[in-house]
Structure 1
Amino acid sequence: MQKKEGMEFHIEPGQEWEVDLFRPEDADGVVKLFLSVYGKDYPVRTYIDAELLTRENSTGRVISAVARTPRGDIVGHDALFCSAPYAGIRESGAGAVHANYRGGQGIFTQMVARGAEEGAKRFGVEAVYGEAVCNHVFSQKMTHSLGWISYAMEVDLMPDSAYRKEGSAAGRVASIFDLITYKPKPHKVFIPHVYEDACSFLYSGLDDRREISKAGGSASSDSVTRIQTEYFGFSQVSRTAVWEIGSDFEAVFEAEEKKALDQGAIVLQVWLNLSFQWVDAAVHVLREKGFFLGGILPRWFDHDGLLMQKIMKEPDWESVQIHFDRAKRIRDLVYEDWRRVSV
């Protein structure tokens, strides 16, 4: 692996290519591609370790789509992988295209489309989502062209260091959360009072069916919060999944928040399960702590989730680039709520 980290990865330009699912013999080419595009410090080891990539694809934990030339050169890669609490839906990411094959050839769009379609058909993936970055609009245009729908904005999600090699970001980078449903699951969701108008807009674009009810009431005195936090050191992001909202939510969450801040978190995300009628109480606790709206996360817990977020500095709203009207409206909703809780 050390030898590969210093290699120039030259591929003859102008070759024909086709998009296909990963084969074991593609692994070395994917690793070389990632090292050439992102460098040896790429934070996810799966894509810079040929044996691990092959193993993850063989088990179905990762579903890689590649762009392959007749010579076997790998000029592009994208993957489906689990990052939501519910494993039935997958994130599309870990994308890379060789420098000689960028610029309007459509490789990335075809890889994302093929991966999502095959994931649904062969592996039973029920929905696919992605985080379209806001330091440019190319990925936003790509997901829109594939029929994905925007539901949330993740403020300051990634550090500028993730884009140092391409020089496309001067500060932390926001993203738009886009999703497409392959297997519908109509169900009831409870909407917090403070976000009724925002959620009315967000659910108006859903490619599935929901029974919308008003949140209210309180958890029973003996109910227990079930919560899980993951911290990502590279990006200084903590993500807390609240599977069950109990009467002890405030105390339990305070401990989780302190732990994340002690680890160095700059961005704190909380995912609330909208299947609990008393989600209102958790929203109130979070807003009192400076958390603001991110949007909705369809099928996040199998049932939908609500994204709330807190940034430990003032976000750079001016640098956010958004192309489509729906995502612009989401940005406005997020910004307005950030201002309200920041007063």
Structure 2
Amino acid sequence: MDNEELTAGLFRPEDAEGVAKLFTEVYGDAYPAKIVYDPKGLVEAFERRDQIPIVVRTPDDRVVGYSSLFRAAPDRGVYEKGNGAVLSDFRNAGVMGKIFQYVGRVVPGMEGVKAFFGEPVCNHVYIQKAALANLPFVETALEVDLMPAEAYDKEKSASGRVATLLMFITVVGNSHVIHVPDMYAPYLEYIYEGLDDKRSFAPSVADFPVSERTRIDTMIYDSARVARLAVHEAGGDFSSALASQEERVLRRDVEVVQVWLKLSWPWVGKAAGLLSRKGYFFGGVLPQWFGQDGLLMQKTISRPNWEGIHVFSERAKRIREFVETDWRQSQG
């Protein structure tokens, strides 16, 4: 089918069954974001604006491509563009490009969207190339071993767990001060040089505020075997609070633990140093994640699948180098 016969547009409730069928054909029942298999739940999430799906249709309204913007950060104005699928017969029809072009035309005018990001998988570079060719994404982080290999069994495209690349677009600027941990100063300098928004910088030299109590929100994704710890406040009890959450998530047989810290804290360097001593390593920058920027740190229970990480741009290759270098240092 010619590319011109395909149309990209905002999701309609009548597309929901077609979305479920598309993901079943591409991934079987193994895709971690189970909402794509739930037509009623997807429609309800769309009506709440928790999900803003975009679909590509044939002239007879068959859904052959899908991606969605959905809330994925502590700040509700930061949306992820993800959960992508393209029917195998249409892989060379420019389907993902049509979705990216539609996002570029429509999303900047949507009320309440401060920033959005893509999370393309790194078992191939197809989606990375399409994203960068169609939208001014800026790569800022690499999530190692985020996705389970089983999600790609049907298409036989992964040799192990799959990393994802984080790339952001600022919609509403938010200039603020970033406190730079000395251990990551060269990495952050490189990443921020290319960011599409303004920041100012100060060294992170303060100690934890003794009077502050640590507050961590923990999310566990059992199907992906991933835990994410959003640290909203870090005080003098950070070490013990972190240990308590780690014990909880490791009982759930997770393979990956991510920790999100606030780069707006003057003491973020203390938190990053403590995590590094516990085997966590650098992931990158999360623009506007908490309203202000976040720092991603991560730990894998098994050796990361470095050989399975394929990135396209020179910038992404540098970030991958930072991440692997810090992982090696974290291993002692």
Query: Smaller-chain TM-score range?
Result: over 0.9
Aligned residue number for residue 62 of structure 2: 73
1:307 lines up with 2:296 in the alignment: yes
CA distance in 1, matches of 2:317, 2:30: 33
CA distance in 2, matches of 1:296, 1:45: 27
Instruction: Give 3-state SS (helix, strand or coil) of 2:287's partner.
Output: strand
Q: Which moves more between the two structures, 126-135 or 185-194?
A: 126-135
**For residues 63 and 116 of structure 1, do their structure 2 counterparts lie closer, same or farther at Cα, with a shift above 3 Å needed?**
farther
1:109 lines up with 2:97 in the alignment: yes
Aligned residue number for residue 163 of structure 1: 152
Residues 179-208 of structure 1: per-residue CA shift (max 9 Å, x gap): 111111111111111111111111111100
CA distance in 2, matches of 1:127, 1:142: 19
RMSD over aligned Cα atoms: 1.5
1:243 lines up with 2:237 in the alignment: no
Highest RCO, 1 vs 2 (Cα 8 Å, sep ≥ 6): 2
Identify which of 94, 106, 113 aligns with 1:125.
Answer: 113
The Cα of 1:120 is off from its aligned counterpart by 2.9
Number of residues of Structure 1 aligned to a counterpart in Structure 2: 330
1:134 lines up with 2:122 in the alignment: yes
1:32 lines up with 2:21 in the alignment: yes
TM (normalized to structure 2)? 0.95
CA distance in 1, matches of 2:103, 2:127: 16
What stretches of structure 1 of length at least 5 have no aligned partner?
Answer: 1-12
CA distance in 1, matches of 2:236, 2:221: 28
CA distance in 1, matches of 2:282, 2:103: 30
What stretches of structure 2 of length at least 5 have no aligned partner?
Answer: none
**Partner AA of 1:142 in structure 2:** A
CA distance in 2, matches of 1:282, 1:123: 35
Q: Is the 8 A contact 2:229 2:259 kept in 1?
A: yes
Q: Is the 8 A contact 1:78 1:115 kept in 2?
A: no
Q: Which moves more between the two structures, 208-217 or 27-36?
A: 27-36
CA distance in 2, matches of 1:50, 1:44: 13
Q: Is the 8 A contact 2:82 2:120 kept in 1?
A: no
The Cα of 1:319 is off from its aligned counterpart by 2.6
Q: Is the 8 A contact 2:30 2:151 kept in 1?
A: no
Q: Is the 8 A contact 1:88 1:127 kept in 2?
A: yes
Residues 212-263 of structure 1: per-residue CA shift (max 9 Å, x gap): 1110111332111111111111111111111111111111001011111111
The Cα of 1:86 is off from its aligned counterpart by 1.0
The Cα of 1:78 is off from its aligned counterpart by 0.9
Q: Is the 8 A contact 2:229 2:260 kept in 1?
A: yes
TM (normalized to structure 1)? 0.92
Q: Is the 8 A contact 2:51 2:68 kept in 1?
A: yes
TM superposition outliers: structure 1 runs of 4+ over 2 Å: 40-45, 115-120
**For residues 34 and 123 of structure 1, do their structure 2 counterparts lie closer, same or farther at Cα, with a shift above 3 Å needed?**
farther
Percent identity among equivalent residues? 41
Aligned residue number for residue 144 of structure 1: 132
Aligned residue number for residue 75 of structure 2: 86
**Partner AA of 1:327 in structure 2:** A
1:96 lines up with 2:89 in the alignment: no
Identify which of 285, 290, 294 aligns with 2:283.
Answer: 294
The Cα of 1:119 is off from its aligned counterpart by 3.0
